[in-house]
Amino acid sequence: MRHVLSALVQNVPGVLAHVAGMFASRGYNIDSLAVGETEDPGLSRMTFVVVGDDSTLEQVRKQLEKIVTVVRVDDISAQEFVERDLMLIKVTATVENRAQIHELCGIFRGKVVDVAPEQVIVEISGQEKKIEAFIDLMRPFGIVELVRTGRIAMVRGVARPNGEASSLRRVASASGSG
């Protein structure tokens, strides 16, 4: 089963290496990983996609929670959430197929971000299925290069309990990062 984990971590050097090392040392595979600063500059959010049964997920959560710089870990898979991937794809764009590529970009709400005489770079974001479908449609044109971000996700419309943000800041500040 596919699980999306969201971990709030202190924004300090070495956190990513420590977390990735924990996964590797225990033989867990990360299908996707994205990390970025949050609304609080002292905290970052790591979004992981891992595949495994419920017991594997529970072990991953327990191990993550043992890491001192990890503030909170949530399995958001069972909740309603919004997820996105971002992709840049460079495809061969001849005079004959350029209009068709632009048309497909419009259908997928993609954006041409660079144009060269024989190639274009398209930016597209969305759910994994959308990205995969666009890649499949671009294959006949000739994919020159492709790069994707890890998945990012956020739980829909759930208000945080009163004081949660301030208590998280206190945790981060107490450790010397805020």
Whether residue 57 sits in one domain with residue 21 = yes
Total domains, the chain:
2
- In CATH, what number is assigned to the domain containing residue 146? 3.30.70.1150
Q: Say whether both 48 and 63 belong to one domain.
A: yes
Asked if residue 8 and residue 74 are part of one domain, the reply reads: yes
- Based on the domain organization, do 162 and 146 belong to the same domain? no
Residue that is written with structure tokens 């990012």 in the block: 152
Residues 50 and 92 both lie in one domain: no
One domain, residues 87 and 47: no
For residues 75 and 8, membership in a common domain is answered with yes
Q: Is the pTM of this model over 0.85?
A: no
Q: Please check whether residues 36 and 59 belong to one and the same domain.
A: yes
Domain that holds residue 113: 82-152
Place of tokens 């949050």: 38
120-136 burial by CB neighbour count: b if 16+ within 10 A, else e? bbbebbbebebbeebbe
Q: Are residues 72 and 105 in the same domain?
A: no
Are 75 and 11 in the same domain? yes
Dist CA 144 CA 129 (whole Å): 21
Q: Is 80 exposed, middle or buried (0-12, 13-18, 19+ CB in 10 A)?
A: exposed
User: Is the same domain home to 119 and 64?
Assistant: no
Regarding whether 110 and 90 lie in a shared domain, the answer is: yes
- The tens-digit pLDDT sequence of the chain (178 residues) is 889 999 999 999 999 999 999 888 888 889 999 999 999 999 999 999 998 888 888 888 888 999 999 999 999 988 999 999 999 999 999 999 999 999 999 999 999 999 999 999 999 999 999 999 999 999 999 999 999 998 999 999 865 544 444 334 334 444 444 4
Give the domain CATH number at 23.
3.30.70.260
**Four-point Cα dihedral 71, 20, 77, 159, nearest 10:** 30
